[in-house]
Amino acid sequence: MVVGVIKTVILGAGGMLGTDLCKIFPDAAKLKHNDLDITKREKVIECIRRIKPDVVINAAAYTDVDGCEGNQELVFDVNGYGPGYLAEACSNASAVLVHFSTDYVFDGSKKEYLEADTTNPVNAYGRSKLLGEQKIAENMDDYRIIRTSWLFGANGINFVDTMLKLSEEMETVKVVNDQFGKPTYTLDLAHKTAEIIGIEPGIYHLSNEGVCSWYEFASAIIDNTIPCTSNEFPRKAKRPTYSALVNTKTSPMRHWKEALNDYLKENKA
Ligand SMILES: NC(=O)c1ccc[n+]([C@@H]2O[C@H](COP(=O)([O-])OP(=O)(O)OC[C@H]3O[C@@H](n4cnc5c(N)ncnc54)[C@H](OP(=O)(O)O)[C@@H]3O)[C@@H](O)[C@H]2O)c1
């Protein structure tokens, strides 16, 4: 990487995390889906060759977990092969690639997951994201793969906003109390991403601290929620029961409750 001004490209700049990354990296080239489709190998390679960045941050993905089940060809292209093309392009350009993956690469049988733990996704989304990780590692060395979980942020459809809306519309809101993870504020994650670029390559687990169920998360947002089981809410895609990411490599992020309070103050006051 050059010393001095670091030239950065953000992909998926129109998404929930991408929008917050754009705030933290204001000088970056910001590419939305319309600007570059990461499933187009030649275009990806040409784009990175032309811009000659030092760092590429990829927040582009197909993220509808249930939608992935019926759309697997597209999903594997976007979440699996696309990141591989980016890695190829970054390797050619000697750029660092920062890519986001998910707690859903794990099956939930172990509860807490360290960076080196064995992956075993239980749904198409998780399998496609795992393929993305593998394609990156096949194509380059200087990558940072950031696995994160349960994102909420100002620029996307997220659980916090959904709860606020349902709370107004319904007398009580039933939320599952048997799936556990770590809610994470996209603005916190975007800040932390800046730190990860400067340290050694590899896989990182970055979430706000604190494990909770979706019901416990909901209870911190609204007053009229009641717990239920996943059996009462059948979904197309199976979810891991317990997929808390443990960060053993960098300083911990703050607790999700503190992050949630700031999110609500900044966006919902
Ligand atoms: N959301 C979560 O709870 C969560 C949890 C764990 C990990 N992650 C990971 O974190 C990252 C960011 O997630 P997010 O929630 O911010 O996602 P998001 O809001 O769904 O944003 C994804 C962006 O990618 C774009 N995109 C889709 N297909 C593309 C393609 N072929 N080429 C270029 N851009 C494309 C989308 O554009 P269009 O909308 O125009 O298609 C969208 O702007 C992803 O890697 C995701 O897998 C998310």
How many Cα atoms sit within 13 Å of 203 on the Cβ side? 21
Closest listed residue to residue 212, CA positions, set 168, 149, 162 = 149
Q: Name the residue with the closest Cα to ligand 1, atom 2.
A: 151
Chain length of the chain:
269
Q: For each successive 10 residues of the chain (269 residues), what is the average pLDDT?
A: 75 98 98 98 98 98 97 98 98 98 97 96 98 98 98 95 97 97 98 96 98 98 97 93 97 98 91
Q: Indicate the top mutation candidate among 33, 155, 162, 208 to test ligand 1's pocket, ranked by most ligand atoms within 8 A of CB.
A: 33
pLDDT at 4: 58
Is 113 an annotated catalytic residue? no
83, 99 in Cβ contact below 8 A?
yes
Instruction: Give ∠ CA 54-248-262 in degrees, rounded to 5.
Output: 75
Q: Which of 42, 46, 15 is nearest to 30 (CA)?
A: 15
Q: Would you state the pLDDT for residue 5?
A: 78
Structure tokens at 181: 């993870």
What is the rounded CA–CA span in Å between residue 264 and residue 269? 7
Residue whose CA lies nearest to ligand 1 atom number 12: 59
What residues contact 71, with CB distance under 8 A and at least 6 apart? 62
Ligand 1 atom with least separation from CA of 60: 24
Residue 269's pLDDT is 72
Per-residue pLDDT of 1-25, as tens digits, reads 444 578 999 999 999 999 999 999 9
Superfamily of the domain at 8-152+182-209+243-253: NAD(P)-binding Rossmann-like Domain (3.40.50.720)
| pTM score | 0.97
Torsion angle of C-alpha atoms 152, 153, 155, 158, degrees rounded to 10: 20
Which of 62, 85, 125, 185 is flagged as catalytic? Answer: 125
Place of tokens 């049988």: 109
Residue-range domain boundaries for the chain: 8-152+182-209+243-253
Contacts of 50 (CB under 8 A, 6+ apart): none
Ligand 1: which residues within 6 Å by Cβ? 12, 14-18, 33, 37-39, 59-63, 78, 82, 100, 102, 129, 148-151, 156
Question: 62 C-alpha vs ligand 1 centroid, how far in Å?
Answer: 5
- pLDDT tens-place string over residues 66-101: 999 999 999 999 999 999 999 999 999 999 999 999
Q: How many CB atoms lie within 10 A of CB 83?
A: 31
DSSP track, 7-35: PEEEESTTSHHHHHHHHHSTTSEEE-TTT
CB-CB contact of 7 with 53 (8 Å)? yes
Pairing of strands 151-152, 184-185: parallel
Distance from chain centroid for Cα 217? 18
